[in-house]
Amino acid sequence: MGLTSRVIPWPIRGILAGFAGTLAMSTVYSLDHWRRPGALGVAGIAGIGGHVGLDYDDSGVPGRIAANLLHLPELSDRQAGQLTLAIRWSYGSVFGVAHVLLRSRLPEPAATTVFGTALMSMTFSMFPLLGKTPPPWKWRGDELVTSVATHFAYITTAAVVDDVLRGRNKILYRALPIARV
């Protein structure tokens, strides 16, 4: 019997897809930091782990938004960065479930298009509304490109992993060691 949605329950498949997407997004950030060591970063906002924030997701802004919503005391830049990473990995992993649910109702590429549109809409609206950042049309070009590129990595990776774990992508599916279960 091959690996199907009956073997991996859909919530677990979504979390695995989201985790893989988050790993891809984080990898793009790491590569971008390595490729652009002198990048300006987001003006006036600390990045994560001693780096400049290449966009608002790569800064303490998500951590500060969460702290504000949870009525936590003021965070240091380091604490805001740590909370941002915790949010990225937890929220990013769980958000993969949304793709699984969309994919159960829509064919590809419609499911991934809706998934990506929803994710980018939230990114471009929540930072200005809750994080007091400028709206996206006032972001510098490199900040906007970084945001779109990292989210594209997340969206496409989560979609491909969901597809592979469904057993729909036969080439990648056969390469999985667990496909022989």
Query: Is there a domain that residue 163 lies in?
Result: yes
Mean pLDDT of the region 118-127: 95
Query: Is there a domain that residue 173 lies in?
Result: yes
Residues of the domain holding 141:
10-36+89-180
Whole-number percent of the chain with pLDDT over 90: 73
Whole-number percent of the chain with pLDDT over 70: 88
Q: pLDDT band for 32, please (50, 70, 90 cuts).
A: very high
Backbone angles phi, psi at 52, to 5 degrees: -75, 150
Query: Is there a domain that residue 79 lies in?
Result: no
The pLDDT assigned to 40 comes to 84
Residues 6+ apart with CB under 8 A from 25: 88, 92, 150, 151, 153, 154, 157
Round to whole Å and give the CA distance between 126 and 135: 10
Query: Is there a domain that residue 84 lies in?
Result: no
Q: pLDDT band for 3, please (50, 70, 90 cuts).
A: very low
Give the count of domains, the chain.
Answer: 1
> What ranges in the chain are assigned the alpha helix state H?
10-35, 61-69, 77-105, 110-131, 141-166, 170-175
Whether 173 and 3 have beta carbons less than 8 Å apart is answered as yes
Question: Does the predicted TM-score (pTM) go above 0.75?
Answer: yes
Query: Is there a domain that residue 48 lies in?
Result: no
Query: Is there a domain that residue 167 lies in?
Result: yes
Query: Is there a domain that residue 4 lies in?
Result: no
Q: pLDDT band for 15, please (50, 70, 90 cuts).
A: very high
Mean pLDDT of the region 46-51: 85
Q: Amino acid identity, residue 69?
A: L
Round to whole Å and give the CA distance between 16 and 88: 14
Mean pLDDT of the region 60-74: 95
Q: pLDDT band for 49, please (50, 70, 90 cuts).
A: confident
Terminal CA-to-CA distance of the chain, rounded, Å?
7
The pLDDT assigned to 13 comes to 94
Backbone angles phi, psi at 46, to 5 degrees: -70, 145
Instruction: Summarize pLDDT for 128-143 with one digit per residue, the tens.
Output: 999 989 999 999 999 9
The pLDDT assigned to 5 comes to 41
H/E stretch holding 75: none
Overall size of the chain counted in residues:
181
Query: Is there a domain that residue 144 lies in?
Result: yes
